[in-house]
Amino acid sequence: MPTSTGDATTQPTVADEPHIDGRAAWRAAEEDTGTGALAGLRVLDLSRVLAGPYTAQTLADHGAEVIKVEAPSGDETRGWGPPFAEDGRSSAYYAGLNHSKDNICLDLRTDAGRGVLAHLLRGADVVIENFKAGTMARWGFDYETVLAEENPRLVYCRVTGFGVDGPMGGLPGYDAVLQSFGGLMSVNGYPDGNPLRVGVPIVDIVASHMAVSGILLALRERDLSGRGQLVDITLLDSVISLLHPHASNWISSGKVPQRTGDYHPTVVPYQVFAARDGDFFVSAANDRQFRSLVTALGVPELAEDPRFVTNGVRSQNRNVLAALLGDRIAERNRDDLAAELERAGVAASPVNTVDQALTAPQTVHRGLFLDTVDYRGLGVPIKLGRTATRTPRRAVSLGADTDAILGAMGYSEKDIDVVKTGGALGDV
């Protein structure tokens, strides 16, 4: 969303009228309230791109009522395609991070837009934002000095790149930049190649998981104290948390970790081999599994070879062992070998493509890929024994619920016209 350049203290007349109830906004377009562990929780999603929206979507999956606020220009990920949704206006990328949310379009550069936001903030249980540091304060919505006083129970989740203070405080953060800065890229790739970005936005995704955890911790503490608090999430914290075991190895040995390709830095064998019909991953994480592996491959004598009897010596003779195992694996078909190693208690798998992974029978059985008339996409990965999750519904178009949300809050048609005249709703 654009940064405000206007006067955040000026509000339109309608915003001060007492009949407006921000708490009612979450009942505007939601029909399946009461489903999920977080049913009734009101979440205001002011974020864009990945970490923030994914956090809000996860809460929605478990019953929270989520309103996403977008600027008239929209979350930029709507344009991150192809592929695009059927209407051609939003990308698959956006759809994967914003299902099960209601959507209101507000231009927060305007007084009228900030007036609506003020009511939404007063009615929220949780706010998620990833604006440039200081933006909310410039708009008159600083958490510590304003929002915490007006809504003491508010849990305020702020996602930034490096934090808001310190030598790099306030600098913008992007997933690949943090992979580079945080050391992750330096240990990803092959020894004779360039450092590689992990093939998914792993720093953003882990930051979103940390944000969900932080929000739930703050809500639990709120049950005890009656007060909300700041949940301070940074991409830097996320990437540093990902460095196991490399960080521990450096702390212990003083040796700077290096790229090892598909090899594990300490466990042998733990790598990709070429089977007859494609790539195949094998892990033998202990001596028993190694013995079972070589027995299944028809070379049981390797388990007694002094070069390979323990993980420590296998690590010293990694390349020799890989060549011996590779010759045997190259003679086998992936699925047959996977089944045999599974029976032998050895962790192994074909290296599946994304489509193979999503349509695998076990994936479908777990409800991780849903293909119905109403929704085609990923399912909910966190499952509880007693409490059901919400069935995802498609991400909606920009501003799809704007009028309904304003109406539920108590804005009359005349009030809504005033807000529109003030430029708060863009062209929606």
CA distance 304 to 296: 15
Tokens linked to 380: 């909910």
| DSSP classification of residue 91 | B
Instruction: List Cβ neighbours of 157 (8 Å cut-off, separation of 6 or more).
Output: 52, 55, 126, 127, 128, 129, 211, 214, 215, 230, 231, 233
Q: CA geometry: angle at 428 spanning 130 and 33, to 5°?
A: 65
CA distance 363 to 357: 7
Instruction: List Cβ neighbours of 167 (8 Å cut-off, separation of 6 or more).
Output: none
Q: Is 319 exposed, middle or buried (0-12, 13-18, 19+ CB in 10 A)?
A: exposed
Phi, psi of 306 (to 5 degrees): -55, -25
Whole-angstrom distance between the N-terminal and C-terminal Cα of the chain? 16
β partners of residue 156:
127, 230
HSE (side-chain half, CA atoms, 13 Å) at 193 = 12
| DSSP classification of residue 352 | -
Q: Would you call 107 a catalytic residue per the annotation?
A: no
CA distance 271 to 410: 60
Most distant pair of Cα atoms in the chain: their distance: 85
Count other Cβ atoms within 10 Å, centred on residue 386.
5
CA distance 189 to 272: 13
- Does an H or E element contain 270, and which? strand 270-275
Tokens linked to 152: 């003491």
Is 208 in contact with 231 (CB distance < 8 Å)? Answer: no
Which member of 204, 401, 403, 415 is catalytic?
204
Q: Which residues are catalytic?
A: 204
